[in-house]
Amino acid sequence: MANKQITASAGAALNMVAASVFIALSAFLAKGVAGRFDLPPGAQDIHPLQITAARFVVAWCVWIVVVSIRRQVFRNVHWSMHLIRTVFGWLTVTCVFWASSLMALADATAISFLTPVVTLVLAVLVLKERVGPVRWSAVAIMLIGALVLLRPGTSAFQPAALIALVAAFTSAFEALFVKRLAAREPLVQILFVNNSIGVVISLIAASFVWVWPVGSQFAVLIGVGLSMAAAQVFFLSSMRDGEASYVIPFMYSTLIFAGVIDYLVFGDAPDALGALGAAIIVLGAVFLALREGVIKSATSKRS
């Protein structure tokens, strides 16, 4: 029994690392097709709004196959909640792709890791959850890291960082609605409905900046969508097979993968203070994830 648990935990950790690889890959491809890759003859840079549309279209194609194979029956769809969740999700993806195209991927990724801070605040304000001093301490650590990385009011401040910061906020709001939907609907239904609505929203938005991709740009856009779909599968598998407090810290390896590939291909890297700020943010996030695990364990024992 112990060996099975160890094997399951190791598998869950590997799945989360795999999800991190694909998240980093999707951001890298988005950055490239938005202007950093050499353009094919007659091509134009692809706007982040159009890259987001490609992400939703490809993911929808993947999930329509899954739904068809499973012969999924849809019941009790909470359309209003799905719509709000999808709008926040669309904003998150667009802001991540946009910020990634303008700054070092490691910096943009680190700022997006501030989502747990916003999520915790929303849990207090909206869900009326009680939060103790230890969890607030983790939030304080992450905010200090953000200030070190962002350096507002100095010449080192990057305006593009504000876009990544918006992604952290919208992602937290999306997580709030995902939590509510997960208690009411099956997972496959949530994912399919989300991507179906996302296709409509993203294509309408992309129509204002649309340019026809040429040659290799099609392949890159498909790669963005497939990478995000693969990340979803590995992430959900990890969460299914392992405790959240154990596997979530492995997600922060995204910072390493994104930073390495960004430096090797584009030569972009955070400066020393940026790297320090990112490390502090990750430290606070891991601390918070472990603390959540302790709280959950204590709650389950009492029940």
pLDDT greater than 70 at residue 1: no
pLDDT tens, residue by residue, 236-284: 788 777 776 677 778 888 888 898 899 999 888 778 888 888 888 888 8
Contacts of 190-194 with C-beta under 8 Å, sequence gap 24+, read 190/82, 191/63, 191/232, 192/60, 192/63, 192/64, 192/66, 192/67, 192/72, 192/74, 193/74, 193/77, 193/82, 194/82, 194/85, 194/86, 194/89
Contact between residue 190 and residue 59 where contact means Cβ atoms under 8 Å apart: no
Domain locations in the chain as residue ranges: 19-302
Q: Tell me the angle at which helices 160-182 and 79-102 cross, rounded to the nearest 10 degrees.
A: 150
pLDDT tens, residue by residue, 18-47: 989 999 999 999 999 998 888 888 788 999
More confidently predicted of 125 and 203 = 203
More confidently predicted of 150 and 31 = 31
Q: Of all residues in the chain, what percent carry a pLDDT higher than 90?
A: 30
Amino acid at 4: K
User: What is the rounded average pLDDT of the residues 39-57?
Assistant: 91
pLDDT greater than 70 at residue 9: no
- Rounded CA-CA distance 288/282 in Å is 10
More confidently predicted of 240 and 3 = 240
| Residue 227: pLDDT band with limits 50, 70, 90 | very high
pLDDT greater than 70 at residue 52: yes
Q: What is the DSSP letter of 47?
A: P
Query: In the chain, how long is the greatest CA-to-CA distance?
Result: 65
3-class SS at 277?
Answer: helix
Per-residue confidence (pLDDT) for residue 80, from 0 to 100: 93
pLDDT greater than 90 at residue 138: no
Q: What is the DSSP letter of 76?
A: S
CA distances from 198 to 58, 59, 81, 211, 227 (A): 11, 10, 13, 20, 17
Per-residue confidence (pLDDT) for residue 21, from 0 to 100: 93
Alpha-carbon torsion 6, 9, 13, 14, what sign?
positive
| Residue 119: pLDDT band with limits 50, 70, 90 | confident
Per-residue confidence (pLDDT) for residue 159, from 0 to 100: 81
pLDDT greater than 70 at residue 3: no
- Determine whether 293 is exposed, middle or buried from the number of CB atoms within 10 Å of its CB (0-12, 13-18, 19+): middle
